Amino acid sequence: MAEPHAWVWGAVLGGAAVTYLWRFLAVLLAGRIDPEGALFDWVGCVAYALLAGLVARMILLPIGPLAEVPLGARLAAVVVAASIFFLTRRNMLLGLGAGTGALVLLTSGLIG
């Protein structure tokens, strides 16, 4: 693996350019494309799969400091977050608070 810091600005600005590209194309082509057509169904599936893959990897195989947290604690925190989220009729703030709170409680004893 190469030294990553070399292309941080390339990643930041390249990412911004391809992100605006979609918004720009939407205004340019509005009325001439069908946002509910097969092409965008496929695009939506690819984006969802990519993001789900990233989230699963961040939870199961974290790269940064989360790697120090035992897998059991990460999974328990995710289960707590989802449980509170559904018990509170999909209250996002409470779900997030419960999940991160659980992770703090589970790790504060293990990691100084």
Partner 1 sequence: MAAGADPGRAACVRAALGEAFGIPGLVLGASFLGFGSLVRESGMSLWAGLATSLTSWALPGQVAMVELWAAGSSLVAIVLAVCLTNARLMPMTVVLLPWLGRPGAPRWRLYVAAQFVAVTSWANSMQRLPDVPEPHRLAWFAVFAGGLFGVSVAATAAGYALAGLVPKAVTLALVFLNPVYFMLIFVTDLRNRAKSLALAAGAVLGPLFHLVHPDWGLLATGLAAGTAAFLADRAWRRREAHRG
Of residues 20-49, those binding partner 1 (CB under 8 A): 20-27, 29-30, 33, 35-36, 38, 40-49
CA 61 vs. chain centroid, Å, equals: 14
Judged by CB, which is closer to partner 1: 64, or 72? 64
Q: How far is the CB of 94 from partner 1 (least distance, A)?
A: 10
Site for partner 1 in 76-95 (CB under 8 A): 77-78, 81-82, 85-86, 90, 92-93, 95
Please name the residues in contact with 73: beta carbons below 8 A apart, sequence gap of 6 or more.
103, 106, 107, 110
The percent helix, strand, coil of the chain (3-state, each to 5) is 80, 0, 20
Per CB under 8 A, the list member of 72, 87, 88, 101 interacting with partner 1 is: 101
Judged by CB, which is closer to partner 1: 29, or 72? 29
Judged by CB, which is closer to partner 1: 38, or 72? 38
Site for partner 1 in 46-75 (CB under 8 A): 46-61, 63-66, 68-69, 74
The CA distance from 72 to 92, in Å, is: 23
CA dihedral 58→64→65→70, nearest 10 degrees, is: 40
Number of other CB atoms surrounding residue 94 within 10 Å: 16
In this structure, which amino acid lies at residue 12? V
Judged by CB, which is closer to partner 1: 1, or 72? 1
